[in-house]
Amino acid sequence: QAQLVESGGGLVQAGESLTVACKYSARTFRGYGLGWFRQGPGKEREFVAAVNWKGDEYYADSVKGRFTASRDFNTRTLSLQMNSLKPEDTALYLCAADRRQWYSGSDYDLSHFGPWGQGTQVTVSP
């Protein structure tokens, strides 16, 4: 059973930076994309960023230009560098694997993803 474990969350002030990571084991997920999602208080889970099997990156409009996702196949780690953080970025950040092998489109609805990690909390104070 594949496991995804997120880490690196914390409390930061608006304008600061933070990097969260997702380490996966039991599977290499080669041929599959990996994505970051977030769920804020009282909100639905939403797409943040993804790196497909080729290494192409996709971002939600709300984080484009501020967040950078990267993937290291050797260390089996998906990272999310978050700059210029805003209070509205406060959320539980979760990583998940795309169930579609060799997918290179732009549809990153969360229904296509699983398994999921437990998440890491990011809180941005004003």
Average pLDDT by consecutive 10-residue portion of the chain (126 residues)? 91 98 87 96 96 95 98 94 98 96 94 95 98
Q: What is the pLDDT of residue 2?
A: 74
With a CB cutoff of 8 Å and minimum separation 6, the contacts of 74 are: none
Q: What is the pLDDT of residue 30?
A: 87
**CB atoms inside a 10 Å sphere around CB 8:** 15
Q: What is the pLDDT of residue 1?
A: 74
Q: What is the pLDDT of residue 79?
A: 98
Q: Are 6 and 117 in contact (CB under 8 A)?
A: yes
Q: How far is CA 6 from CA 37, 70, 101, 105, 125, in A?
A: 12, 14, 22, 25, 21
Q: Are 100 and 106 in contact (CB under 8 A)?
A: no
Q: What is the pLDDT of residue 25?
A: 86
Q: How far is CA 35 from CA 7, 58, 77, 125, in A?
A: 15, 9, 11, 25
Q: What is the pLDDT of residue 11?
A: 98
Q: What is the pLDDT of residue 68?
A: 98
Q: What is the pLDDT of residue 107?
A: 95
